[in-house]
């Protein structure tokens, strides 16, 4: 089995000898790719009120987290060892205080797009994660008990087409 072939177990970042390797995408066609990841930072209601009011001591939490998320998407290949550097065509980070049954906090949506031979799922997940970590950093002085959840919601493009979290569940 060549190092660029998919293993029977479906793993693509491990070669036939079990060694980590970067997938060869040189022969794959460039297609439009899009991924959406989300994160939720659960926090006390009083902490979420600081975000909404813009009165956090460290400044504008939402604006800072948005910039951090965009920067992180652009640096994903520097952070995740086997990711390919991508020419992103679009990154959008939406952040808002949110309340759902049983939890209060801040919801983050990170959308990344490119035209290329490989997807942007890791860029979207990295953007959502770093935006969430930035929110935690800016608010930890008032709420160290915050928790972070991150996941991929959807991806489009490439040989596997469209995938959504809802379809999987």
Residues annotated as catalytic (active site), given as ranges: 137
Query: Going by C-beta distance under 8 Å and a sequence separation of 6 or more, which residues neighbour residue 156?
Result: 32, 33, 34, 35, 162, 163
Q: Which helix (DSSP H) or strand (DSSP E) does residue 116 occupy?
A: strand 103-116
Sort 37 into a burial class: Cβ within 10 Å, 0-12 / 13-18 / 19+.
Answer: buried
């Amino acid at each position: 089995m060549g190092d660029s072939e998919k293993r029977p177990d479906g793993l693509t970042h491990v070669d036939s000898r079990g060694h980590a390797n970067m997938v060869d995408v040189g022969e794959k066609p460039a297609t439009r790719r899009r991924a959406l990841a989300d994160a939720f930072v659960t926090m006390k209601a009083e902490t979420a009120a600081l975000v909404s009011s813009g009165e956090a001591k460290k400044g504008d939490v939402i604006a800072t987290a948005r910039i951090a998320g965009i920067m992180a998407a652009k640096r994903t290949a520097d952070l995740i060892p086997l990711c390919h550097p991508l020419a992103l065509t679009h990154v959008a980070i939406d952040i808002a205080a949110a309340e759902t049954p049983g939890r209060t906090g801040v919801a983050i949506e990170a959308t990344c797009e490119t035209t290329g031979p490989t997807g942007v799922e890791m860029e979207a997940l990295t953007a959502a994660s770093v935006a969430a970590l930035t929110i935690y950093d800016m608010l930890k002085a008032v709420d160290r008990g915050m928790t972070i959840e991150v996941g991929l919601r959807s991806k489009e493009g490439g040989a596997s087409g469209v995938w959504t979290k809802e379809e999987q569940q």
